Chain A
Amino acid sequence: MDAEIYIDNNSFIHRLDPRVKIIIFLLTFVAILLFQDPLWMLPITVLIVIQLVASGALVNMRRIRYILIVLTVSSMILWNIFSSGDTKLFWIVSVQSLTYAVSRTMLMILMISTGMILITSTRNEELVNGMIRLGMPYRVGFAISTALRLVPTIVTSTVTISQAQRSRGLDLESGNLLEKLKKFLPLLVPVFISSIRNTNIFGMALESKGFGASEKRTFYLDFQMKKADYVVLAFSILFMLVSIYFAVMGYGKIEGLIRS
Chain B
Amino acid sequence: MSEPIVSIRDLKYRYRGQKSLALQEINLALEQGEFLMLMGPSEAGKSTLAATINGLIPNFHIGKLGGDVVVMGRNTKDYSVAQMAEIVGMVFQDFEAQLFSTNVELEVAFGPENFAVPREEIKTRIDENLEYVGLEGFRNRPPSTLSGGQKQKLAIASVLALKPQVLVMDEPTTDLDPISKMGVFEITHRLCKRDDLTLLIVEHETEEALFADRIALIKEGQLIKVGPTREILTDVALMESLGVMPLGIPKFFKAAGVSELPLTPDEGVETFKSLKFQINDLAYQEMVAREKAKLEQLNEPLIQCQNLSHTYKGEVEALKKVNIEIHRGDMVAIIGQNGSGKTTLAKHFNGLLLPTEGEILVNGKPTREQGIFALGKSVGYVFQNPDHQIFSEKVFDEVAFSPRIRKLPEEEVKQRVSEALTAVGLEGLEEEDPFTLTKSGRQRVAVASVLASNPDVLILDEPTTGLDYSEQSSMMNMVRRLNENGSTIIFITHHMWVVAEYAKRALVMKDGDVILGGSTREVFSQSEVLRDAFLRPPHFVEFTRRLGYTFLTPAEMEACLEGAHS
Contacts and interface: CB of A to CB of B under 8 A. Distances in A.
Interface of A: 2-4, 6, 8, 123-125, 146, 149, 152-153, 157, 160-161, 163-171, 186-190, 193-194, 197-199, 201-214, 216-222
A62 to B, nearest CB: 14
Interface in B341-379: 347, 350, 352, 372-373, 376-377
Interface string B41-55: 000000000010010
B403 to A, nearest CB: 9
A205 B54 contact: no
Nearest to B94: A201
Interface stretch (B75-83, B200-208, B234-242, B259-267): B75-83
Contacts of A167: 350, 352, 372, 376, 380-381, 383, 450
25 contacts: A4-B144, A6-B102, A123-B103, A160-B383, A160-B388, A168-B449, A186-B391, A188-B391, A202-B98, A203-B60, A204-B56, A204-B98, A205-B100, A207-B56, A207-B60, A207-B80, A208-B85, A208-B90, A209-B85, A210-B162, A213-B82, A217-B113, A218-B118, A220-B113, A220-B123
Contacts, number: 177
Contact of B114 (A160, A188, A202, A209): A209
A170 B381 CA distance: 13
Interface string B187-216: 000000000000000000000000000000
Nearest to A146: B100
Given A153-B96, A171-B373, A171-B405, 12 more contacts: A3-B144, A6-B102, A124-B102, A164-B383, A166-B352, A206-B100, A207-B81, A208-B81, A210-B85, A212-B114, A217-B113, A220-B123
A190 B390 contact: yes
Contacts of A207: 56, 59-60, 80-82, 85
Residue of B98, B100, B145, B392 with most chain A CB atoms under a 10 A cut-off: B100
A170 B404 CA distance: 10
A194 B387 contact: yes
A222 B111 contact: no
Contact of B372 (A166, A187, A201): A166
Nearest to B435: A193
Contacts of A186: 391-392
B97 A201 contact: yes
B82 A218 contact: no
B376 A168 contact: yes
A142 to B, nearest CB: 10
Contact of B80 (A160, A163, A204, A213): A213
Given A125-B102, A218-B122, A169 B405 contact: yes
B54 A169 contact: no
B82 A211 contact: yes
Contacts of B98: 201-202, 204-205
A3 B144 CA distance: 9
Contacts of B96: 153, 198
Nearest to B459: A167
A118 to B, nearest CB: 14
Given A169-B406, A204-B56, A209 B162 contact: yes
A147 to B, nearest CB: 12
Nearest to A152: B144
Given A167-B350, A208-B90, A8 B117 contact: no
A207 B81 CA distance: 6
Given A169-B453, A210-B85, A2 B114 contact: no
B293 interface: no
Contacts of A153: 96
A213 B82 CA distance: 5
A186 B404 CA distance: 14
Nearest to B109: A220
A210 B86 contact: yes
A179 to B, nearest CB: 13
B329 interface: no
A172 to B, nearest CB: 10
A194 B388 contact: yes
B257 to A, nearest CB: 47
Interface residues of B, number: 72
B243 interface: no
A171 B118 CA distance: 56
Instruction: List the 8 closest pairs (A to B, CB-CB), nearest first.
Output: A210-B85, A189-B391, A205-B98, A213-B82, A220-B109, A201-B97, A210-B114, A207-B81
B516 interface: no
A169 B106 contact: no
Nearest to B86: A210
Contacts of B117: 218
A177 to B, nearest CB: 19
Contacts of B377: 169
Interface string B385-410: 10111111000000001100110000
Given A4-B142, A161-B388, A167-B350, A213 B114 contact: yes
Contacts of A219: 113, 119
Contact of A208 (B109, B159, B450): B159
B115 interface: yes
Contacts of A3: 144
B532 to A, nearest CB: 29
B535 to A, nearest CB: 25
A202 to B, nearest CB: 5
B246 interface: no
Contacts of B101: 124-125
B463 interface: no
A127 to B, nearest CB: 10
Contacts of B102: 4, 6, 123-125
A169 B402 contact: yes
Contacts of A197: 97, 387
Interface string B111-152: 111111111001100100000000000001010110000000
Contacts of A2: 144-145
Nearest to B158: A209
B336 interface: no
A123 B92 CA distance: 25
Residue of A124, A190, A206, A209 with most chain B CB atoms under a 10 A cut-off: A209
Nearest to B59: A207
B387 A190 contact: yes
B248 interface: no
Contacts of B512: none
B416 to A, nearest CB: 13
B250 interface: no
B103 to A, nearest CB: 7
A5 to B, nearest CB: 10
